Amino acid sequence: MAARAALITGITGQDGAYLAKLLLQKGYAVFGVLPRRASDMLWRLRYLGIQDDVQLLDGDVTDLSSVIRAVEHSQPAEVYNLAAQSFVGTSWSQPILTGMVTGIGAVNLLEAIRMAQPKARFYQASTSEMFGQIREPVQSETTPFYPRSPYGAAKLYAHWMTVNHRESFGLHASSGILFNHESPLRGPEFVTRKVTLAAARIKLGQQKSLRLGNIDAQRDWGFAGDFVEAMWLMLQQDQPDDYVVATGRTTTVRDMCSLAFNAVGLRYEDHVEIDPALMRPAEVEVLLGNPGKARERLGWSATTPLEDLISMMVEADLARERQTA
């Protein structure tokens, strides 16, 4: 009997790699859509030791024809859309690209499923950035959205189009409204990895200081390895729905810096410099998720405390920097 198949867009990203590993452990045949945009896109799959276990298909979510071919080739029971231009800061300088990849790309995948594999279950990676200028102190599935970046706006379009395809065409389409989730596989442009990498390099004498923007912004940070399990659980439910995936704890960037530098025996105050040029045009000051629905209906909750997550990331960055020194 053939293994149950899953198709992942964004498989070479942080979440895609962890999700691929989880699905492989569960016995799935895992296919990934691979756009040819960078010189080395496979390092995360190698890091997790699964590069040879996934089947990569040439394609791009902005190209409907290639997405249809990927769906037809893989015949997936489950499709996970994790592809996006996902760096919020870049979305202001590349708003059209962000809209095409993050917004229209999701609709291309929904349409491909509707045409070629309508029984497949679909997961859309939504984001807490859709809440933006928060309307409630703790954000849940019923909190009104007010995105404060082109990225958040593009994700909101993809989110509502997922709801639309669910209600209009009967697709088993669910969205995970994920709050910030990090890991050693996070790109160095994201603030958590920027901080842990700088702490490691400063400890090793490879760097002297770290420039940051608003270090008093607060985020609900979890471990990506925990969050991908929630994605899978959503597609195991009889009825599709939308779920907030979060830890329920918020922490400032300042305190996260303290954790990272303390992990290598340093004080962040001695090395972190505030650079006004790194301030966002429109800031999201506080994000704090209520994961109650995911806990009650999916049986999911975050299991990795922020302290352990930051320690894990710093140790991974120390090991990688020592190897390349």
In a domain, 68, yes or no: yes
In a domain, 118, yes or no: yes
In a domain, 297, yes or no: no
Among 129, 143, 196, 243, the active-site one is: 129
Do residues 239 and 208 share a domain? no
Do residues 135 and 196 share a domain? no
Do residues 140 and 191 share a domain? no
Do residues 96 and 190 share a domain? no
Calculate the alpha carbon distances from 54 to 38, 50, 130, 150, 160 in Å.
19, 7, 31, 32, 30
Among 151, 162, 268, 304, the active-site one is: 151
Do residues 157 and 279 share a domain? no
Do residues 318 and 194 share a domain? yes
pLDDT at 87: 65
In a domain, 22, yes or no: yes
Among 12, 98, 102, 127, the active-site one is: 127
Do residues 226 and 202 share a domain? no
| C-beta of residue 234 within 8 angstroms of C-beta of residue 299 | no
Q: Which domain holds residue 135?
A: 5-181+221-245
pLDDT at 289: 97
Per-residue model confidence as pLDDT tens digits over 216-225: 999 999 999 9
The residues, any chain, with a CB within 8 Å of residue 163's CB and separated by 6 or more, are 173, 175, 242
Do residues 261 and 137 share a domain? no
Do residues 92 and 113 share a domain? yes
Question: How many Å separate Cα 47 from the centre of its chain?
Answer: 17
In a domain, 295, yes or no: no
Question: Is 129 among the catalytic positions?
Answer: yes
Binned at pLDDT 50, 70 and 90, residue 90 comes out as confident
Per-residue model confidence as pLDDT tens digits over 97-130: 899 999 999 999 999 999 999 999 999 999 999 9
Closest CA relative to residue 44, chosen from 321, 323, 232, 320: 320
Average pLDDT over residues 158-171: 98
In a domain, 299, yes or no: no
Do residues 209 and 227 share a domain? no
How many whole angstroms separate alpha carbon 122 and alpha carbon 108?
12
Which of 80-94, 100-114, 207-221, 271-285 has the highest mean predicted lDDT (pLDDT)?
100-114
Say what the pTM is: 0.94
CATH number of residue 256's parent domain: 3.90.25.10
Do residues 150 and 31 share a domain? yes
Question: Is 196 among the catalytic positions?
Answer: no
In a domain, 146, yes or no: yes
Q: In total, how many domains does the chain have?
A: 2
What DSSP element (H or E) covers 107?
Answer: helix 105-116
Binned at pLDDT 50, 70 and 90, residue 1 comes out as low
Read off the DSSP letter of residue 223. Answer: E
In a domain, 145, yes or no: yes
